Amino acid sequence: MCSLKVCVLLVAALAAATAQEAKPTYSTRYDNIDLEEILRSERLLKNYFNCLMETGPCTPDGLELRKILPDALKNKCNACTPKQQAGTERVIRFLIEMHPQEFLKLEKKYDPSGVYRVEYQAEAEKRGIHLPAPLP
């Protein structure tokens, strides 16, 4: 049995090690937004699209998305929570299937050199997501 002082130090060291191992994530403040409502509404979808394209005003959550999108692409969404990863896949799948031209415009803006398309294409195919031909 350890002395109280040694036990406290061990617990503190374990807590510090655990805290260092926990990966940082993007804010979960907007994780409860109803994605399906947005995807069903042409008006809301257009507003988010315009925000991401920087051609229209943004809601606070749209601004947050626009801010983290380049980092999420660059780092394979490593800071995304599981809910954010699932939401990302849902939105990408929807855009490709229902609004491929908007997807391609977003792709051209956020992946102008096509590096992320190459990097993510195999994973998309494994998930049954077939990317449309890129814009010229």
pLDDT tens-digit profile of 21-60? 567 889 998 889 999 999 999 999 999 999 999 999 999 9
In the CATH hierarchy, which fold is given to the domain comprising 26-127? Antennal chemosensory protein a6 (1.10.2080)
pTM: 0.79
Which whole number is the average pLDDT over 85-95?
A: 95
The helix/strand/coil state of 20 is: helix
Give 129 or 13, the one with higher predicted confidence.
129
**What band does 135 get if pLDDT is binned at 50, 70 and 90?**
confident
Structure tokens belonging to residue 133: 């031909």
